[in-house]
Amino acid sequence: MGMMIDHKKMIAFSIRDVSLHIGRYIHHEGQKEGKNPFEDKTATDRVSRLQGMAVGYIYSHNGQQVIQKDMEKGMYISKSTASGLVQRMVKNGLIYTTPAENDARVKCLNLTNYALDIMREMDKRAIRTEAQLRKGIDDEDLQVFFKVLKQIKENTK
């Protein structure tokens, strides 16, 4: 009989375990704070995960011009998927389109105030979650943690 593996000392097991713990924590905190159309399956204005990711993609570009082609490349989705996604997001009041400055045939994707409000609220939640995750961990340990994570990524390329 071979050597017994201690799963608790395996990197993959530990990362998955921590990821599940964080996911449950975020879910629990989100329930306390109220409805979020990107996360709450009971919200009447439920938005698909892909639409939420697209809003996040546009939001992360801090007011820079984002066109559908950027979103296709950045989110690794096909032209037809992106096209349908943009149409649904306009219909759901998440984005509106404007002609690109350099080519009126190209549409820029802009977040509505509704989407911006949701993203700002999610930012606040993310900051609180990050603070909770970092509680009791000094900067030196965090540097080592991120260095180790980076190395694990390198090892799995």
44 — pLDDT class (breaks 50, 70, 90): very low
9-128: which CATH number, 3.40.50.620, 3.30.1360.170, 1.10.10.10, 3.40.50.2000? 1.10.10.10
Average pLDDT, the chain: 88
- What's the sign of the alpha-carbon dihedral 35, 127, 131, 151? positive
Provide the pLDDT for residue 83.
95
What is this structure's pTM?
A: 0.69
In whole angstroms, give the CA distance from residue 86 to residue 84: 5
Distances (CA, A) of 63 to 1, 60, 71: 61, 8, 14
Query: How much is the pLDDT for 136?
Result: 97
Each residue's pLDDT tens digit, 74-87: 999 999 999 999 99
